[in-house]
Structure 1
Amino acid sequence: MELEAILAISMFVAAIGALLAGYPVALTLGGVALIFALVGIALGVFPDSFLKAFPSRIEGGSIMQSQTLIAVPLFVLMGVILERSRVAEDLLTIASRLLAGVRGGLGYAVVLVGTLLAASTGIVGATVITMTLIALPTMLRQGYDVRLATGTIAASGTLGQIIPPSIVLILLADAISNAASQASLRTGAGSAVVSVGDLFAGALIPGLILVAFYLAWIALTALTRPAACPPAVLEEGTAPLTAREVAIGLGAPLVLIFAVLGSILGGIAPPTEAAAIGAGGALLLAGLRLAPDANSRLSPVILAGLVSLLLILVLRNTLDLRVGDIAHSGAAMAGMGLTVLACLAFTASLVAGALVLRKAAQLTPALKSTAHITSMVFLILIGASLFSLVFRGFDGDDLVAGVLHAVPGGKWGALAMTLLVMFVLGFFLDFIEIVFVVVPLVAPPLIMLGCDPVWLAILMAVNLQTSFLTPPFGFALFYLRGAAPPEVSTLQIWRGAIPFIGLQLLLMALVAAVPALATWLPAIAAS
């Protein structure tokens, strides 16, 4: 074996070992890369021009200039605000009360609320912990089987990996798009661009199918083991739901989700602008939700902002509001004036929402949490970029491509081996590390072997979701164990997750056998 190949393999093994030892991810990736680069330069097998080009690669390349990655902090802010405004608590309370008296109704409510939280936050750890703290005590008090309760919560929490708008899909879109471009350059084919919208569209049908699988399993359990999921019983003195509670607690998050996804899938706005819509909408919803608790009188201002937003959308789609050397009718001129006033009202509502959050002592923690998560993501991305650059300098990408091409079974054999490796790594590494380190290495050769980029990305996302739910190292199980009551044993949590792991594997096999489940909707959206 050549010296370059030995160094490339040693570099990868050293990085994995350091990560498993608990060293910081970004510093580990960058530090290991620099050490091996210096060793390679000393041995004369690594060109130092690679390191000299690294600053310009960061500043002017696919990181700082990436329009896709701008959406990350906005979606993170959207999720953090909704998490801190107790929207999840309201969703679960309303859904469980609407399904009161239905056998398994509380389980259905957990799955549906997990779906909505996945579509509004996309943060797995926060969703699992929130659902555990809110739903698990209620389910146990209502007489639910511990295994069914914990399995339902853990599985519903991992939906944030696959239900758009997911942070995983945003980062995966950037990695897969770069991989598709590399594969196109190597094969001489036309340029292949994979957008965030493509992955959102591709993940929508598989995600909804998985939700249907979860609901079907609870329904089957209700039929075969009625004692495991009894009907929910409302406590005495519980007031009936009001129209305002349903509209704000359930309807408003649904409208926000449809606005964000609809604007992306419908081609109205690119992901970054849609993420801005989501962050602004989350601020308004949080303001409405927390205004009574904070003794604030700004609710009418926020409601006026929502009405003004609807007015802007109506005027934008019915009148020509372009400014320029265009002859406008009187109606168009009036529409422009109304649009300006509506924009001012909407801006005032955003300020009002921020003031309510500040009064409720949630604004500063939300901004700090967003800055922390965003900084972590981008620092890991910079470290991973240096790692992949040095790995490529040792011709490691050619080594990986050669291994995958040599696997028996062609495309399917290479795909199976890749998914197995990612599945095992998912026990120990977070999805960000896997997306930034592993995907750039394995995706280009797989695409060259004939894998559709969108289909490949969706399979990887479902695979990681399954890994995060699988005992004994699944991250979702760790989150649930940390927030669950002491009387719930670890073995019960593991046994509860097994049926849902089977459902996720069934979905993965279904997507692998029928690629149109992942590729049909993106093709429709593109046309």
Structure 2
Amino acid sequence: MELYFLALLILIMAMALGSGFPVAFALPGAAIITISAAAATGYIFTGSTDAFFHSGGPQQWLSAGVTNLRGVFWEVERDTLIAIPLFIFMGIMLQRSKIAEDLLVTMAQLFGPVPGGLGISVVFVGALLAATTGIVGATVVAMGLISLPAMLRNNYSPSLATGTIAASGTLGQIIPPSIVLIILADQLASAVDQASTARKLLHKEATGELSMPSTFDVASTSAGEMFLGAFIPGMVLVGLYMVYILVFAILRPKQAPAVGYDGKYDSKFLKTVLITLVPPLALIFLVLGSIISGVATVNQAGAIGAAGAMIMAGYRLPKPGKSLYYPALLAIVALVMIAFVLANFEMNVKAMNTGADRLGIALGAIATLMFMVSLIWSGVRVFKLEETLQGVMLETAKTTALVFIILLGAAMLTAAFRAFGGEELVRDFLNSLPGGFWTQFIIVMLVIFVLGFFLDFIEIAVVVVPIVAPILLADPQANITAVWLGVMIGLNIQTSFLTPPFGFALFYLRGVAPAVVKTVQMYKGVIAFITLQLIALSIVGLYPPLVNYLPNRVSFLSESSPPPRNPKLQLCLEDYVGQQLSQSSVTTDAIAAARGLNLSVLPKDLVKDLTGGLDAADKAVAQLDAAFVAAGQVEEAAGLYRPQLTVVRRIEKQIRAIEAEVKEMKTLAGRMRDEAQAEERAALEAEIAVLEAEIEHLHAQVPDTWEEVHNTFAELTKAENTARAQYRRAADQAWEDPAEVLAVLDANAEFAALETPLRDMRATIETLPEAETEGPVNDLAKLFGKVDGADDVKSLLSKARKALKNKTPDRDAALEQYDAAVAEFEAQQIWRVEADATLRPGLTAYLDGIKETLGIRVQPRFTREQALAMASCNSYHRDISLNF
């Protein structure tokens, strides 16, 4: 029965959307009606409202959507939706301030003489507006009103002109900052949690181990990472658009002619270009740059964008005058001052101690006040001019409310879909497809593409993504990142604005296009651009670093970059070390040179540490080579092992599903104790017998050679893992033991400074009462305890203290231990001085020689070169399915 109500849910939603009923009410309405119908039917026919739900009851599922959406705002780490109204405000304010109009006119004059120049200028401006406004409707309407008449006047093909404008207007969906990317990041945050749980369960079922290594876990994402990940694919799409228009213009010059500029390309024109281009580019730099550099979160960047848009509107909307640019100039001066004080002063009020600190805080406060004055000044101007500010805020409130109502409705619809087992149905369908992950992925992308013909991007993002994303992210074969999946879905969703019959960009353009442009011509014009979007989707799909590299680069170069010991980085780190060792002999030369050091001046324990570290260095190099050999053997054996693994895991999955069904049926049969239920119980037991026979049949399908093949492959992977683990331990020891010896030598000055207090202690022990002497001796012992390599002196002083602390204090015993401490101090002083002169240069050279290779793991952070190597390596998806 659950399937009938699932079909009813989809039917009601489709009918409501198809009839033009507002989507904000169609989604929750379909969920409420279906859940209520299922509860009423269950109560009428079985006496239980829970009877026809996959699990739980109507009360649980009716409140689930609201609870899930509320959780977004109560979780501190998932506050990215707050950025939505800020970016909407920024976009509407820039649209109302006619920035788009200025850009289009100026860029058309600049690119006009190039073949297809008007079309290229539209794409260029569309990309700029995408990075500032991100609102498709406003962008398409603005470009349609300004550029379309100019393109038609210059004999542009109506299809090319309308297709270019409509496609360029949709760039705001993939070029950050983008509302759809924020929504996708929010949806994927929940999907990652579910995928991680599913992958851990899969690992437990496949290996029997209770815990899964963290290196196999699913990589999460955030709105900031989505912005970074989408930037390069967005630029790829812009490049494809421009290349297409240029090639089209060269092949068919009559349909996309070059347009000469009547004016002169002089300093006045250059000034116009700069005034038109610099403010939007500066705003893009501030918004995206603050996110990329880690200075601001996505929410804070949204606030920066909203403030910048208001300041730009403050000089664009009023009539020209002397004070026209004063607020903007004041804001620029304030920003320069803020940047200066942040770079040169410690801006922490609580840590303000010196006069320089107070000066920095004062300058920062003045700069902040100046910026506030600029913002208020601009706000007053915008408020007075045709009530622009009121209109922008009203539109922002409307659009934001619409987005959040749709989010709430989609959360309720998704809850209803899960209530009737829809999620498991989709999961089982995708997992049953032959071809593994890529078949599933292509099917999902195809479904999203088809849905784009009928649904808006928000509906697709909030309805489809929560259902399919956990399934795709959990798959260990592709081991994709959430940011890559999000960008791929974002690129796919972008086509929904161009695909008829409900392509919203086409509707927007149709509303402002002249009657001479036929709707059929518009539909023909977008076909090429839809194809280009699909080509971009394929490029990004086949080359994941286009998405993954930039977020990784920013992460590894940031102050909060993951440490080199991070388990997820070890494979890439070992590849990097192996490459460095093969390209340079610096490490091996450093080890060989350290072997020639004269260690006779050191005590035995330090000699043991140092020789142990050098032995570990040789072992690390050998174990790394062994690990690479073992990895090659695993890779070679994987060709024969993978097909059997795929077959057996599929059979085991079917067995687990049937066993779960049998367990549920046995529980149900066990409750049928009434004689009136005897016939029903017998039928159920017969069905159980059939399922158990099917389980036996499935067990028989497991290849006879499976256990042997599995054990052989497990031995190979164990050998690789063992070699890698031994390498890591040896590499750490190769650095740590010699570094400890060098630390002892570095403490020579600190050690020597304690000579006077040590020698003065004899008089204290001899003259003061024992009870009063214990404290000073203990304090001196603690001082020696803080000095590297002085533990022997500390130990003897502690024994002297103990002799003084006994119930029957023994001053002579204390002096005896004190004299031994002095003797140990004098002996150490001798070898410390000699070792410092003879060993320090060699130890320093050794550690410098292995720091970039064997010593990487024990460093606090990566160097720039290492960070970039890690970012590049981790940008590829690594198949981990052989571990499952």
* TM-score in terms of structure 1 length: 0.94
Task: Give a deviation string over 1:329-350, Cα, whole Å, max 9, x none.
Answer: x333212111111111111111
Contact 1:291–1:299 (CA<8 Å) still a contact in 2?
A: no
Q: What residue identity is the alignment partner of 2:193?
A: S
Contact 1:455/1:518 (<8 A) preserved: yes
The equivalent residue for 2:339 is 313
- 1:7-406 matches, within 5 Å, as 7-42=5-40, 43=42, 44=50, 45-46=52-53, 47-51=57-61, 53-54=63-64, 57=67, 60-63=70-73, 65=75, 66-188=78-200, 190=217, 192-235=219-262, 241-242=268-269, 244-292=271-319, 297=323, 299-328=325-354, 330-361=355-386, 362-406=388-432
Task: Determine if contact 1:32/1:387 at 8 Å carries over to the other structure.
Answer: yes
CA deviations on 1:163-196 (whole Å, 9 max, x unpaired) are 1111111111111121111111222264643101
Q: Which residue of 2 aligns with 1:509?
A: 538
Structure 2 counterpart of 1:500, from 529, 533, 540: 529
* Structure whose alpha-carbon radius of gyration is higher: 2
State the 1:371 CA deviation: 0.4
Q: Which amino acid aligns with 1:522?
A: P
Letter in 1 for 2:523: W
Structure 2 unaligned spans of 5+: 43-49, 201-211, 557-884
> Secondary structure at the residue paired with 1:485?
coil
Structure 2 Cα separation of the partners of residues 59 and 412 of structure 1: 31
Question: Number of residue pairs matched?
Answer: 523
Residue number in structure 1 paired with 2:495 = 466
Give me the whole-angstrom Cα distance separating, in 2, the residues matched to 1:27 and 1:146.
38
Alpha-carbon displacement from aligned partner over 1:61-117 (angstroms, at most 9, x marks no partner): 114654110000000000000000000001111112222432322112111000001
Aligned counterparts of 1:239 and 1:514: Cα–Cα separation in 2: 43
Mapped contact 1:296–1:356 kept (Cα < 8 A): no
Residue 474 of structure 1: how far off its partner (Å): 2.3
Distance 1:489 1:103 in 2: 25
Inter-partner Cα distance in structure 1 for 2:172 and 2:498: 12
Amino acid at match of 2:498: L
**2:456 touches 2:496 (CA, 8 Å); kept in 1?**
no
**Counterpart for residue 435 of structure 1:** 461
SS at structure 2 position matched to 1:409? coil
Alignment of 1:418 with 2:444, yes or no, is yes
Letter of the 1:258 partner, please give it. Answer: F
Distance 2:322 2:93 in 1: 18
Q: What are the Cα deviations for residues 465-486 of structure 1, in whole angstroms up to 9, with x where unaligned?
A: 2232234442222221221110
**Aligned partner of residue 175 in structure 2, secondary structure:** coil
Name stretches of at least 5 consecutive residues in structure 1 with no aligned partner: none
Between 1 and 2, higher relative CO (CA 8 Å, sep ≥ 6) is seen in 1
Whichever residue aligns with residue 554 of structure 2, its letter is A
Closer, same or farther in 2 for the Cα pair 1:244/1:472, shift >3 Å?
Answer: same
Equivalence for 1:486: 515
Letter in 1 for 2:460: I
CA RMSD in angstroms comes to: 2.2
Measure, in 1, the Cα distance between the counterparts of 2:524 and 2:125: 23
Would the aligned equivalents of 1:50 and 1:390 in 2 still touch at CA under 8 Å?
no
Residues of 2 paired with 1:290 and 1:521: CA distance? 37
Q: Once the two structures are superposed, what CA deviation does each residue of 1:139-182 show, in whole Å capped at 9, x if it has no partner?
A: 11122222221111111111111111111111111111211111
Paired with 2:84 and 2:121, the residues of 1 have a C-alpha distance of 29
Matched letter for residue 498 of structure 1: I
Q: Distance in 2 between matches of 1:423 and 1:241?
A: 47
CA 1:141/1:133 → structure 2, altered by over 3 Å: closer, same or farther? same
Identity %: 45
CA shift, 1:40, in A, is 2.8
What secondary structure, in the 3-state scheme, does the structure 2 residue paired with 1:228 have?
Answer: coil
Residues of 2 paired with 1:53 and 1:474: CA distance?
33
CA distance in 1: counterparts of 2:264 and 2:195, whole angstroms: 64
Q: 1:181 to 1:58 in 2, by over 3 A?
A: closer
- Distance across 2 between alignment mates of 1:483 and 1:289: 24
Cα distance, 1:242 vs. partner? Answer: 5.0
Give secondary structure in 2 for the equivalent of 1:344: helix
Gap change, CA 1:13 and 1:204, over 3 Å in 2: same
Does the aligned pair in 2 maintain the 1:177–1:192 contact within 8 Å? no
Question: In 1, distance between residues paired with 2:267 and 2:518?
Answer: 36
Deviation at 1:231, TM superposition (A): 2.2
AA of the residue aligned to 2:308: G
Deviation at 1:55, TM superposition (A): 8.2
User: In the aligned structure 1, how far is the partner of 2:371 from the partner of 2:290?
Assistant: 18
Q: Mean alpha-carbon deviation: is it higher for 57-66 or for 380-389?
A: 57-66
| Deviation at residue 302 of structure 1 after TM alignment | 3.1
**Contact 1:404-1:446 within 8 A present in 2 as well:** no
Equivalent position SS for 1:226: coil
Q: Distance in 2 between matches of 1:438 and 1:351?
A: 43
Say if 1:48 and 1:282 are closer, same or farther in 2 by CA, change over 3 A: same
- The farther-off stretch of 36-45 and 377-386 is 36-45
Which stretch of the first structure deviates more once superposed, 304-313 or 165-174?
A: 304-313
Q: Do 1:96 and 1:109's aligned partners in 2 also have CA atoms closer than 8 Å?
A: yes
CA distance in 2, matches of 1:148, 1:179: 40
Q: Hey, what's the Cα distance between the residues in 2 that align with 1:288 and 1:163?
A: 26
State the Cα deviation string for residues 363-389 of structure 1 (Å, max 9, x = none): 111111100000000111111112222
| Deviation sequence 1:30-80 (CA, Å, 0-9, x none) | 122112222233312341451475487257511465411000000000000
Separation (CA, whole Å) in 2 of partners of 1:193 and 1:238: 50
Paired residue secondary structure (1:413) = helix
Find the residue that maps to 2:310 and give its secondary structure: helix
| Secondary structure class of the residue paired with 2:254 | helix
Letter in 2 for 1:345: M
What's 1:518 paired with?
A: 547
> How far apart are the structure 1 equivalents of 2:507 and 2:442?
27
Match of 2:875 in 1: none
| 8 A Cα contact 1:459 1:508, kept in partner | yes
Q: Contact 2:455–2:496 at 8 Å: present in 1 too?
A: no
Between the aligned partners of 2:69 and 2:184, the Cα distance in structure 1 is 21
Matched to 2:191, the amino acid is A
